Amino acid sequence: MTVNRPVDRMLREAVQRRSAHMPGHKGRAPYGPADLYALDTTELPVTDDLMQPRGAVLEAERLYAEAVGAARTLFLTGGSTAAVHVMLQLWAREGDTVILPRNAHLSAVNACIIGGLRIAWIPCCQTADGYVYIAEADALQTLKAHPGAKCILLTRPDYYGGMIPLARISALAGAMGIRLAVDEAHGAHLPWLEGFDSAASFGADAWAQSAHKTLPALTGSALLHLRDPADERRAMALLRREQSSSPSYLLVRSVDDARAWMAAEGAARLRETVRAANALREHLPDAARNWAETGYDFDPTRLSVDAPQGGFALEAALREKGLDVEMADARRVVLILTAMDTPADIRAMEALFPPADDHAAQIPGPDPLPPLPEAVLTVREAAMAQSEPVPLTKAAGRIAAEAVGLYPPGIPLAVPGERLTEDILAQLLAAPEAMRFGTEGDTIHAVRDL
């Protein structure tokens, strides 16, 4: 009898292709293959408790904290989302204000919904070729405008490898008594990347890292680092609300293995990765070279390749040749390279790119960033209110009940509680449905009776 296992078939086909995307292990176990079913177990007297560790897990967390300069490191098995939720509720209580960049991950908005927090937004800037970022000056100005805020969250690095300068922001936040949290989901490798520093070096009070994005760890494994050990008690109380009471010790093992492997080999392997990536940059148009105006440093293991034929067309061409990139936007593709990519792997990728002048297309300029919409309700008030589906063509003036926008770049055009404008709705209607988030077909959920 034939056994039909479609997911197994899907995965076996996917792993035969070249990976320029997460997870960072790139299909290679740092300490060799293992029988995952044999190692999969639950909390037992002999296996420790992730939510109250006293044995091997506590020792593994101590070793990780020591490696990255944290007072306390907590292992997570549900990705960095839980860490972002915890960081924003660590020092803020219901009704308090937190400062968020408008390009923050949606988990930050959800944390404010859960915690009943008010948001002060740092607006985004945009380069001429459509790279959206947070200017250091705008972060400083927003801090000064909200002296009562409990914390400021910044994303560093972003999806394109861009790293906002943190030194002056950290100094001002500290002087004002405002805690600094950093979403470093894309930067778990930074402690081992020569010439670059993690959030710990800038005095961050807490920072989150997705081990699976750029380290050889399994998908879903993540870390929450704390500068002050006194924050651990509340962090653990919040994590017990956020995480499953049945954590995967396979993920916990993979985080510990990733730390051990990076400590032994990571810095040297990353130097090789950077050399190979820089050699590839010599033959490909690197978008980050055009972004000096941002004042950012850019992660050299992250490749943002300009695409004269358009990012989506280049992504499709590479996919046809068996190379899957991390993401594409209208003008470029993004590749994630890690310490698990060998120089030979990276050289092989170059041969798959078409000539730079192949199939050049007329790519329209980026849409201007719309002004921040009027906030009528808090995100929690709107998310918890009764809502109803409304056609996009008739939603102008209504109050968003969910975050809506376009991916890429993944920045919300409106979050719950904000008034929907004609400009926002026009951008949603002009985009393919597959690029929208927060909509259902051509409808959007709006707060009822407002």
Please report the pLDDT score of residue 53 as a whole number: 94
- How far is Cα 169 from Cα 51, in angstroms, rounded to an integer? 33
Indicate whether 449 pLDDT > 80. Answer: no
pLDDT tens per residue across span 286-314: 888 889 999 999 999 999 999 988 999 99
pLDDT tens per residue across span 210-238: 999 999 999 999 999 999 999 999 999 99
Q: What percent of the chain has pLDDT over 70?
A: 98
Indicate whether 450 pLDDT > 90. Answer: no
Task: Please check whether residue 285 lies inside any domain of the structure.
Answer: yes
Same domain, 198 and 251: yes
Same domain, 113 and 212: yes
Please report the pLDDT score of residue 356 as a whole number: 64
Same domain, 244 and 337: no
Q: What percent of the chain has pLDDT over 90?
A: 86
- How far is Cα 170 from Cα 392, in angstroms, rounded to an integer? 41
Provide Rg for the chain, Cα atoms. 22
Please report the pLDDT score of residue 250 as a whole number: 96
Same domain, 254 and 270: no
Q: Alpha-carbon dihedral of residues 65, 70, 76, 78, nearest 10 degrees?
A: -140
pLDDT tens per residue across span 153-203: 999 999 999 999 999 999 999 999 999 999 999 999 999 999 999 999 999
Please report the pLDDT score of residue 365 as a whole number: 80
CATH label of the domain that carries residue 141: 3.40.640.10
Task: Please check whether residue 19 lies inside any domain of the structure.
Answer: no
- How far is Cα 403 from Cα 418, in angstroms, rounded to an integer? 9
Same domain, 256 and 276: no
pLDDT tens per residue across span 32-64: 988 989 999 988 889 999 999 999 999 999 999
Same domain, 51 and 79: yes
pLDDT tens per residue across span 321-358: 999 999 999 999 999 999 999 999 999 998 899 876 65
Distance of CA 278 to the CA centre of its chain: 24
For 5, the 3-state DSSP assignment is coil
Alpha carbon of 362 to those of 287, 311, 331, 353, 368: distances in Å? 17, 12, 10, 19, 18
* Global pTM value: 0.95
Same domain, 119 and 71: yes
Task: Please check whether residue 1 lies inside any domain of the structure.
Answer: no
Q: Which domain holds residue 314?
A: 266-350
Same domain, 171 and 118: yes
Domain final residue pick, 262, 295, 323: 262
Name the least confident of 93-102, 346-355, 396-405: 346-355
Task: Please check whether residue 4 lies inside any domain of the structure.
Answer: no
Please report the pLDDT score of residue 287 as a whole number: 87
Domains contained in the chain, number: 3
Same domain, 84 and 154: yes
Same domain, 136 and 255: yes
Same domain, 215 and 279: no
Calculate mean pLDDT across residues 95-111: 96
